[in-house]
Structure 1
Amino acid sequence: MPQNVTFHLPFQAGSNPESARAGEHHLAWIRAHGLVRGERALSRYREWLLTDLAGYAYPEARGADLDLVTDAVCIGFPLDDQFDGPRGNDPEHVARLSTELAAIPYRVPGTPPALDTALTRAYTDVWQRSAQGMSAAWRTRAAATYTRFFRAYVEEAHNRRSGAVLDEKTYITLRREAVGTGPCFDLIERAGHFELSEELYWSTGVQTLLRCATDVIFLCNDVHSLEREEAQGDPHNLVLITQRSRGCSRAEALERVGTLVGDAVHRFQDTARTLTERHAAGPEGRRLARHIAGLRHWMTGNQRWGTASARYATENIGIEVIPGDIGSTRREDALSGPTAGSTSRAARP
């Protein structure tokens, strides 16, 4: 039932006429990197409709720009699956891989990853393409966004290992980083070949827009993936946390999350209106308008995808698609042995 739940998002939906072409490019790319192996797994991966999500989120991207954002958005799901299986309960393993991934943007271009895995090679490729043509300020900001995203995985692993009982406030703070919208939102500028000034980007108004858009995405995602998290015993889902902490029914918890979605949408709209009026004229105003449009496309695209993707369908719970060893070196995998594949929830880049 939760995958069928939708929320009123008063934004125009986007679609990309090149989405099918970019999707085929991505399937070839992800197979080449060994992130999905075998025709059966590739077919199931295709049913997740991840490339559709990228097309909804970046409807104006074309050619190599669309190929980049498609790969960047979709690769987050194989990454996420590495941390929701047995290895996700091992903070030391998660920290090694997350530290290596976070280091990629700080290395000299062309430097191979220090931890040689399918994931680190793929993320190195994505970062190098993302950084092309962007200013040093943008690259510094985007690298820091990556760091916060990967660090959140380590905190999640500690929570699983310790059996932490999360309250709503603590979870929301963590989830805002772990959902992975930060890198996706940075790519709005990269795909559109523009940059907000640092002063505007770090202003209270733009930061409020980013936080509200993130909240809408993770809240919708927690509803759509609810049955998966519950089946996996994963504590990182706001519906489950609300139901437990408030002692309420499932329906009441879903209603509470729906109220939070509405509140975030209302704040986003009010803030966007104020900012647009303040920066109505000039190039900065046009760049701001494009950024706001990009955030709106992400919110509507995520909900549209979440209600349709086979990734969250209850009949697919427990079906392996992503190999369990793509985040490990060959030596690590030989020492640890095979691990069971798993599925996960986040709309991560």
Structure 2
Amino acid sequence: MPQNVTFFLPFEAGSNPDAARAGAHHLDWIRAHGLVRGEQALRRYREWLLTDLAGYAYPEARGADLDLVTDAVCIGFPLDDQFDGPRGSHPEHVARLSTELAAIPYREPGTPPALDTPLTRAYTDVWRRSAEGMSAQWRTRAAATYTRFFRAYVEEAHNRRSGALLDEKTYITLRREAVGTGPCFDLIERAGHFELPEDLYWSPGVQTLLRGATDVIFLCNDAHSVEREEAQGDPHNLVLITQRTRGCSRADALERVGALVRNTVRGFQDTAHTLLQRYAGTPERELLARHIAGLRHWMIGNQRWGTVSARYATENIGVEVIPDDIGSAGADRSGAISGPTAGSTSSAARP
């Protein structure tokens, strides 16, 4: 069973001693926002072990910082479920919700969502807490990350509707945004109360690290979730694409994914070593080391979670847990979706 597949990741696994408390807080938070309704749905949601994933990924976060990253990581899965199956084959519906979500960081602080749904209210709350204490540069960068993430859902919806047969290269480019690691990686800085200087963040070396960590995470996820995507008829899975394009068996496709993981991890480690040597003796080195540690915690924590979460278990395929925000959303407050526009004043960029 693909969920039992593991790849060798030479990183030290982290755990957070405050995770149980943050997990209880998160369950209260999702109930308050109406993201999971009813005791049976809540039980299934618990079995996904999402709060464990947040604890693995941010082992040093405490208190309100851990509450924030737990809520932020976990609501990515209710969001993803809005676009599973038939719901994700209607680009106009996906675009409506995605555009609203992308607009949240660009509005005045305290502005309620124009499209009023449990998810938009939850993301508004997460963004408000994420932006607290962060610089204008970080807010602008994180807002753009959100936009790319939400836009990728629309592209996936067009692929589902058209029956697109993706090749490996096209899929990987799309998956790097749709997997949602970008916002999670931005929270490494927010939870740790530090920021990489902009020139360092956008340097080729750091971008290589970010891309490598993203690839390891989505490759592991695709291996663990292949039966889920196959049952739902979703084309967005590298194992399925490799089987189709190369005419190979499931086992051979998984082996190819494993080889990609090994090569990517090797490149990540080499790049990290080179960067830490390059910045030795500088103030940037400590910031860089903390960021690299955060990426490593994410990679190993994601695999640890993916092998045990009931989300990918065969018996849970097709089980509804999350209410449908796409189909049930009411009209927005203005009669139209408002989003970031060129030249607009952005709350993301406000110090």
Give the Cα separation in 1 of the matches to 2:220 and 2:193.
Answer: 29
Aligned to 1:14: 14
Aligned to 2:95: 95
Instruction: Give the count of matched residue pairs.
Output: 332
CA RMSD of aligned residues (A): 1.0
**Any residues of structure 2 matched to 1:108-257 within 5 Å, and which?**
108-257=108-257
Aligned to 1:82: 82
| Residues 119-165 of structure 1: CA deviation (Å, up to 9, x unaligned) | 10000000000000000000000000000000000000000000000
Structure 1 residues 310-319 or 189-198, which shifts more? Answer: 310-319
**2:41 is equivalent to residue 41 of structure 1:** yes
The answer as to whether partners of 1:120 and 1:327 remain within 8 angstroms in 2 is no
**Structure 2 regions of 5+ residues with no counterpart?**
333-351
The answer as to whether partners of 1:35 and 1:326 remain within 8 angstroms in 2 is no
Deviation at 1:242, TM superposition (A): 0.2
- TM-score where L is the length of structure 2: 0.93
Aligned to 2:68: 68
The one-letter code matched in structure 2 to 1:26 is H
Aligned to 1:345: none
Aligned to 2:296: 296
The answer as to whether partners of 1:188 and 1:291 remain within 8 angstroms in 2 is yes
The one-letter code matched in structure 1 to 2:139 is R
The answer as to whether partners of 1:118 and 1:327 remain within 8 angstroms in 2 is no
The answer as to whether partners of 1:97 and 1:327 remain within 8 angstroms in 2 is no
Structure 1 residues 271-280 or 81-90, which shifts more? Answer: 81-90
The answer as to whether partners of 2:85 and 2:232 remain within 8 angstroms in 1 is no
Structure 1 residues 68-77 or 83-92, which shifts more? Answer: 83-92
| Residues 158-198 of structure 1: CA deviation (Å, up to 9, x unaligned) | 00000000000000000000000000000000000000000
| Residues 56-114 of structure 1: CA deviation (Å, up to 9, x unaligned) | 00000000000000000000000000011322111001111111100000001000111
Deviation at 1:318, TM superposition (A): 1.2
Deviation at 1:236, TM superposition (A): 0.2
Give the Cα separation in 2 of the matches to 1:331 and 1:284.
Answer: 47
Give the Cα separation in 1 of the matches to 2:173 and 2:149.
Answer: 12
In the TM superposition, structure 1's runs of 4+ consecutive aligned residues that sit over 3 Å from their partners are 325-328
Percent of residue pairs bearing the same amino acid type: 86
**SS of corresponding position for 2:83:** helix
Aligned to 2:107: 107
Deviation at 1:319, TM superposition (A): 1.2
Deviation at 1:331, TM superposition (A): 5.5
Aligned to 1:260: 260
Structure 1 residues 316-325 or 71-80, which shifts more? Answer: 316-325
Deviation at 1:320, TM superposition (A): 1.2
Give the Cα separation in 2 of the matches to 1:252 and 1:172.
Answer: 18
